[in-house]
Amino acid sequence: MRYELYYWPTIQGRGEFIRLALEEAGADYVDVIRLPEKDGGGRQAMLDFLADASQERPPFAPPILKAGKLVLAQTPNILMWLGERHNLAPKSEAGKYWTNQLALTIADFLVEAHDVHHPLAKAFYYEDQKKEARRRATDFVPMRLPKFLGYMERVLAANPASDRHLVGKRISYADLGLFQIVEGLRYAFPKAMARLEPDHPNIVALHAMVAARPRIRAYAESGRRIPFNEHGIFRYYKELDG
């Protein structure tokens, strides 16, 4: 089956968590909006999909994954489905929901990282909320960032099967999610991460492990992975980096 992924074509955002899972799985997929319009791609293709009144279960917003007639939205929901289908999560009930719980925590982490530079509203430019962003950074960088990293470090240390996997002995979509979080934080908060990483060796080891995975490495080197920029969830502003 060839999957169809609908997400914004110029940012990594939440869609990158789905891309990483698809790449690690070696799945056949197409980034619909990045296709030429003549081939059914482009921004309008996604807008038309969202506005399609004939859908029985319409998605609210991207990322959206279409698998045959099945349409899935919400990043953790998509990842849970892909995890079960492509062996990126344990098969036991407890393991399946534990992996999903970690993915939901990572989703919370992502929102808080985004809200540092946009604490008031997404519709406002950063320049319209710089004062509030600086105040938000004084909470996120010294308080929330270490708290989330500390939790993930504790989960890794508590895994009896591995110090480089959040769940069990095999790579899961939770590992891929934490890898992406570290990638984004290193871009957006390089000084803060340089200070914190020595205290979180298991997270650093997990990041290195995922980066070295053959399919992930090939994806990163292919030119298809969109670079971080000041339009996505992770943005670098020197004044917010602690």
pTM of the prediction? 0.96
Please give the pLDDT value at position 40: 87
State the average pLDDT over residues 179-192. 98
Q: Does the pLDDT value for residue 179 go beyond 90?
A: yes
Regarding predicted confidence, which is higher, 55 or 89? 89
What are the strands of the beta sheet with 70-73, ordered from one edge? 29-31, 3-6, 64-67, 70-73
List of domains in the chain: 3-85 (3.40.30.10), 93-213 (1.20.1050.10)
The share of the chain scoring above pLDDT 90, in percent, equals 91
Furthest C-alpha separation in the chain: 53
Please give the pLDDT value at position 99: 98
Please give the pLDDT value at position 242: 79
> Could you read off the pLDDT of 140-168 as tens digits, one per residue?
999 999 999 999 999 999 998 888 999 99
Torsion of CA 224, 227, 229, 235, to 10 degrees: 120
What is the DSSP pairing of strand 3-6 with strand 64-67? antiparallel
> Could you read off the pLDDT of 17-26 as tens digits, one per residue?
999 999 999 9
- pLDDT band (50, 70, 90) for residue 11: very high
